Structure 1
Amino acid sequence: MALRADLLPALAAFESAARHQNFTHAAEELHLTASAVSHHVRKLESRLGVTLFQRHARGVSLTAEGRQLADAASSALADVDSVVRGLRAARAEHNRVRITTLHSLTYTWLIPRMRDLHAAHPDIRLSLDTEVALTRFDDAGPDLGIRHGPGHWPGLTAHLLMDETLFPVAAPDLPGLDKVTTPADIARMPLIADHARQGWLDWFRAADVHGAHIEERHTFSDTTDALNAAAFGHGAALARQRIVAPYLEAGRLVQLPGPELQARWGYYVVYPAHRRLRPAARRFVDWLLSQPVD
């Protein structure tokens, strides 16, 4: 006889009871009552015309027919479960956006905003690559990138995400900070640098400080490491406005006297000009470009 659709719940209840050899444990797994599981099993036995369980005072045990059906049901339900998991995984991967970006921007700007992203697009999944080397946008590569630069790269479409300004910061409890009242005073402090194209020399020139001996005591390849070093009191760092904001808000760093230097480079969302963005990546780009930057 063909298995009718109305027997599928009974078959699922039987398969669980057969695995546990216990109606109560099956009921807990299926969020049913033990009597409901028993009813499903009796319905299946009645329809098949065979006894699937021997009932006795200590519980239940499978009959030979029950064991035969249990093996087939377990295999069939496992196959269905595997397919369902595969379909869900494929759907999740369909909504995954692969991004190459800067560690500093991810740590201090993107991650704090991801709750808003999830509220607006709960199905989007992100994979973030923050390696220093520029990633190739081939078929196996990322969907898009967020780059710090001049705004034009061969073969890439670029949208300005936000510009940037530079200014000095230090820990509020740095010894002698109360005596720092002018940009020239900063030149006498221990200075912390990163590998950005614009640095302390550019800022002191903008601050009209000339002829000072500038010593960069510590240099870091990543901006967040430089800011952390400043927050721990190792000297003054030249901060990027977008990156330093969480440190200022938390009171770990304070802005020092002097001008805010407009950076030559900004942050851009980039992706291959020859390839149309997938729908999930397009929604992520639209969300990025809608973010307030002030």
Structure 2
Amino acid sequence: MRLPRPLPPLLSLRAFEAAARLLSFSHAAQELFVTQSAVSHQIQKLEADLGVALFERRTRSVELTSAGVAYYARVHDAFELLRLGTQEVRAPSVERTSLTVGILASFATRWLAPRLQAFSAACPRIDLQLRPEIALADVPGGEVDVAIRYGLGGWRGVHAQRLMTERLSLVCAPSLVAGRKRPREPQDLLRFPLLTSYSRQSFEWDAWSRRFGLDLTQSQQVHLHDYNIVVEAALAGQGIAMGRHRLIARQLASGALVEALPDARLDHSRIGWWFVTPKGNLGAAASAFRDWLAEAAKEDALEPTH
């Protein structure tokens, strides 16, 4: 009984199929990421194994012989079957979604960044693209998909869901209020520069001063671009800052910042961090990010004030 001859090498068949389909050794070489001479060598091996010429070599082109045309039809069909079979068996690729988030740099660096690994573990298919902006990004216009903002809420043209309220108190470097320099009442704060960050409305300073009876009209205020700069200036002893406890918990715990008036804390029902979205239904990625933020906010509960 005669044994069937073995099939030609797969490399030779791949080179032939590509060259016959493209009618070009050089184009086949580019597709297969090999040299043109390698394609030519594999086809010569195949022709020697089959004992027939598959191509007519011309000066600037190649053409299939009648044997090449017949063989290409079979080889091409075989490669198509392999491709389809592989597609059916291969595990589906994991689709990833990008979510662009407008966010204050201070919140991104001081609250969100330490939690990003937890988010990636919970939502591995979502790639967050953080876009730090001072002003509210154009959420309805599609500049960002969603935003996280600080304030009182109530922005026009968007839906805002409060994630967590903020606790406010006046903070500074310990050396600034050491010994006799320590303020005893709100009026004593006017002896110090007050560090403020950019805001269209100074809602936190206004709310705090109304609550504790401080007239800010005579205060020396230093306006800084971003809350991160405010914190760094306070750490350097440059003045007294409005402390947002969600963002400066680590500095308060270490003693790098202290409360200038420990008994003058403000827990406002509306001042806080908001998840801002376009009006209407949210996409799956935005909904997942919102739900994760809500859970993370619950875990970041503030200690009760005394």
TM-score, normalized by the shorter chain, greater than 0.5:
yes
Q: Distance in 1 between matches of 2:134 and 2:215?
A: 33
Partner of 1:256: 260
1:112 CA drift (Å)? 1.6
Structure 2: which 5+ residue stretches go unaligned? 1-6, 16-28, 50-56, 62-92, 302-306
Alignment match of 2:211 (pick from 177, 202, 206): 206
CA contact (8 A) 1:193 1:199 kept: no
2:127 equivalent to 1:125: yes
Contact 2:134–2:198 at 8 Å: present in 1 too? no
> 1:161 Cα deviation (Å)?
0.4
112-121 or 124-133, which deviates more? 124-133
Task: Give the TM-score taking structure 1 as reference length.
Answer: 0.64
Q: Supply the RMSD in Å over aligned alpha carbons.
A: 3.9
* Aligned equivalents of 1:16, 1:118: Cα separation in 2: 36
The aligned residue for residue 225 of structure 1 is 229
Counterpart secondary structure, 1:282: helix
Aligned equivalents of 1:109 and 1:273: distance in 2? 26
For residues 261-289 of structure 1, give each alpha carbon's deviation from its aligned partner in whole angstroms, at most 9, with x where no partner exists: 13342221121123x32222221111111
User: Take 1:175 and 1:134, find their aligned partners in 2: how far apart are those partners?
Assistant: 34
Higher CA-based Rg:
2
Task: Evaluate the alpha carbon distance shift between residue 215 and residue 133 of structure 1 in structure 2; reply closer, same or farther with a 3 A threshold.
Answer: closer
Please, which of 17, 24, 48 is the counterpart of residue 46 of structure 2? 48
Map 1:94-243 onto structure 2 (within 5 A).
94-138=96-140, 140-172=142-174, 174-179=175-180, 180-184=182-186, 185-196=188-199, 197-200=202-205, 202-209=207-214, 213-216=218-221, 218-243=222-247
Task: Kindly indicate whether the alpha-carbon contact (under 8 Å) linking 2:12 and 2:46 is maintained by their aligned counterparts in 1.
Answer: no
Runs of 5+ unmatched residues, structure 1: 22-41, 52-63, 69-89
Alignment length (residue pairs): 231
- Give the SS at the match of 1:244: helix
Write the distance in 1 (CA, Å) between the matches of 2:229 and 2:166.
Answer: 18
| Pair 1:269-2:272 in alignment | no
Q: 1:214-263: per-residue Cα shift (whole Å, max 9, x none)?
A: 322x2113222111111111111111122222332454322222311133
Residue identity (%)? 29
Return closer, same or farther for 1:170/1:281 CA change in 2, 3 Å cut-off.
same
**Cα 1:278–1:209, aligned 2, differ >3 Å: closer, same or farther?**
closer
For 2:140 and 2:177, locate their aligned partners in 1 and report how far apart those are by CA, in whole Å: 52
SS at match of 1:109: helix
Confirm or deny: 8 A CA contact 1:108 1:246 kept in the other structure.
no
